[in-house]
Amino acid sequence: MIKTYRTITAGLFLVVNCLAAANADHTPLDTEAMLDPAPAEMGSTADHSKFEQLEGPFEDATEVTAACLECHTEAAKQVHSSIHWHYEFQQPETEQDLGKKNVINNLCFGIAGNYQRCSSCHVGYGWEDHEFDFTAEEQVDCLVCHDTTGSYVKFPTSAGHPPYEDREFHGETIAAPDLAEVAQNVGPSSRETCGTCHFEGGGGDAVKHGDLDSSLIDPPYELDVHMSPEGADFTCSTCHTFSGHIQLGSRYKITMPEDERPVAADPHQKPACEACHGSEPHDSGIHDKLNQHSEFIACETCHVPEVARGGKPTRTLWDWSESGRMDDDGDPVVETEDGVPVYDGRKGRFEWREDYAPEYHWFDGNMHYTLLDDEIDPTETVTINRPMGDHDTPGAKIWPFTSMKGRQPYDKEHKTLLTAHLFGDEPSAYWQSYDWSEALAAGMEEAQKIGQTEKDFSGEYGFVDSIMHWPVAHMIAPAEDSLSCQSCHEPDGRMAGLEGLYVPGQDSHPRIERIGWWAIGLTLLAVLGHGSARYLLYRHKRSKQENSQEEAA
């Protein structure tokens, strides 16, 4: 009976709301017109190939920076103020010190002790240890963001430097770029330059984020309506606007619009969708249902129907506890399935997923992190970064997320997470000795030197399950490919299990069901009563007519 009732109510609900959706205007917004008049098409006012300072030859990439700073005198100071440089962020709501210098993750744990490898995605040169000079202007890497030749690349283990001669890395030859050629052809950042790091997070293409991978360099319209050349043809910085080398948009604190103005590309409110689309992005239609949903559901929830849908799987599990298996030659065992590694003796066991539904959480834009000094319960899964907010939090909305599950080292005595020295030539590096005790002691010692923790390593370690959550904000599908009403408004729909939400068609409540049955019953009685009354009146009228005819006869 209950199932029948839910089916009836779900059907009625879907009919009404699908009519509303059908009457809503799904014509794609003219985002191009909403943006400022295309300043990029005006081109640069300087031809860098005509600058004598950039003719080279350059023996070292820092010489290129010195040449750039002869004209761009304030650029390095601006970069020094950005999170791309100092890797630090103080979260105003939680008052936690975050940024890559302070957080720990369940991929390669953190930068402490792994500087030369991790700093291949730092906008600088030479971050080799805890004594790196963050005030050195010539250490800023201008080319990694402004290269237009496609030939500039940082060598993966050279502390941010490019290769100065052709070098091998894991069997692949990485060509040394012509620094003078690159310097003479600099330009605005692009999907390619940003993607060099942000598509490769976690050590490879699509590893870290299910909504960021190299498929976004030249995406079809169906993958991302904003970044596709067939759509708005946005670059990353169209939304993540830079001002004085400081960009907007941070995963540590997502900026929400402060008012409900349907503004056109307000740079102070990017990268929120509302900055261009306004707070009522849909035509009102019947009952204005779609806009009512946007009051508590993020745009991405409907417009990113699946994660990792660009043809590249993303990593969803990283189990370090199984690392260290070697073959008969003493080399790390590597096993692959469908073209991706599922086991690597250096790193452990992996799982991957592609084109799958995200998970959903209430989210007010802030994340709370478990840091190295925070005590954990090793009998439970440790949530490393927890989306903050619930259904009662002002401004909180339902967001889509991907998650990375992990199994990583922790201190059995202190009950805290640990970081490890993985990369390097030192005997203490895990990828040299495969000795966790040595690697963890060295990693924690480096973490102390950069102020990441005050804890020592007790010498007793174990492995604990962990999970990280990443809000999904890219790979925006066309309206016709976004979630349908039925995706949520059906038994076991997308919002199943989410607290603080009653979804018609999915959820049931005894009182509401009784009210519904009473409403249905009363409606049927009313219909039957109305029909009976009309029939009796008809019969009465017909009888009077017949009597009148008989009397007249």
Q: Is the pLDDT of residue 345 over 90?
A: yes
Of 8-17, 104-113, 180-189, 439-448, the poorest mean pLDDT is in 8-17
User: Per-residue confidence at 38, pLDDT binned at 50, 70, 90?
Assistant: very low
User: Mean pLDDT throughout 513-528?
Assistant: 89
Query: How far apart, in whole angstroms, are the C-alpha atoms of residue 359 and residue 84?
Result: 29
What's residue 7's pLDDT? 47
Three-class SS of 481-517: HCCCHHHCCCCCCCCCCCCCCCCCCCCCCHHHHHHHH
CA distance 201 to 105: 12
Q: Mind listing the pLDDT tens digit for each residue in 455-496?
A: 999 999 999 999 999 999 999 999 999 999 999 999 999 999
pLDDT interval class at 258 (50, 70, 90): low
Separation CA 498–CA 338 (nearest Å): 34
Residue 451 DSSP class: T
One-letter identity of residue 16: V
pLDDT digits (tens, 9 = 90+) for 260-316: 444 444 555 556 788 788 888 888 876 788 889 988 999 999 999 999 999 999 999
Closest CA to 332 of 247, 433, 414, 404: 433
pLDDT of residue 505: 86
Q: Look at residue 231 in the predicted model and tell me its pLDDT.
A: 96
Amino acid at 154: K
Report which of 504, 508, 488 is spatially closest to residue 496, judged by C-alpha positions: 488
Contact between 269 and 39 (Cβ < 8 Å):
no
Token pair for 183: 């310097």
Least confident residue range of 7-11, 100-104, 244-248: 7-11
Strand partners, 462: 410
Per-residue pLDDT, 95: 94
- Determine the average pLDDT of the residues in 229-258: 82
Q: For residues 1 and 262, is the Cβ–Cβ distance under 8 A?
A: no
DSSP per residue, 133-158: -TT-GGGB-SHHHHB-SS-----TTS
- CA distance linking residue 197 with residue 284, whole number of Å: 41
> Which tokens hold the place of 369?
């992190």
DSSP codes of every residue in 451-478: TS--PPP-S-EEEEEEEEEEE----PPP
Kindly state the helix (H) or strand (E) to which residue 403 belongs, with its residue range: strand 397-411
Q: What 3-state DSSP class applies to 538?
A: helix
Residue 287 confidence (pLDDT): 72
Instruction: Assign 249 a pLDDT band (cuts: 50, 70, 90).
Output: low
Per-residue pLDDT, 270: 58
371-418 pLDDT, tens digit per residue, is: 999 999 999 999 999 999 999 998 899 999 999 999 999 999 999 999
Which is nearest to 13 in space by CA: 24, 23, 21?
A: 21
Q: How confident is the model at residue 526 (pLDDT cuts 50, 70, 90)?
A: very high
Looking up tokens 């941010």 gives 160
Convert the pLDDT of each residue in 311-333 to its tens digit.
Answer: 999 999 999 999 999 999 999 99
pLDDT at 147: 97
For residue 386, what are the β-bridge partners? 368
Whole-structure pTM value: 0.83
User: To which residue do tokens 């399935």 refer?
Assistant: 337
Least confident of 148-157, 239-248, 432-441: 239-248
Residue 68 has pLDDT above 60, yes or no: yes
Q: Is pLDDT at 449 greater than 50 in this prediction?
A: yes
Residue 552, C-beta contacts closer than 8 angstroms, at least 6 positions apart: none
β-pair partners for 363: 397
Summarize pLDDT for 107-139 with one digit per residue, the tens.
999 999 999 999 999 999 999 999 999 999 999
Report how far Cα 305 is from the mean position of its chain's Cα atoms: 14
Residue 40 clears pLDDT 60, i.e. is over it: no
Q: What percent of the chain has pLDDT over 70?
A: 88
245: which 2 tokens? 């080398």
The pLDDT tens digits of the residues spanning 76-94 come to 999 999 999 999 999 988 9
pLDDT of amino acid 28: 43
Band (27; pLDDT cuts 50, 70, 90): very low
Q: Are 220 and 226 in contact (CB under 8 A)?
A: no
The label of the residue with tokens 């052809």 reads: 185
**What is the mean pLDDT of the segment spanning 43-51?**
88
Assigned token pair, 464: 């604990």
Section 327-349 average pLDDT: 96
Average confidence score pLDDT of the chain: 88
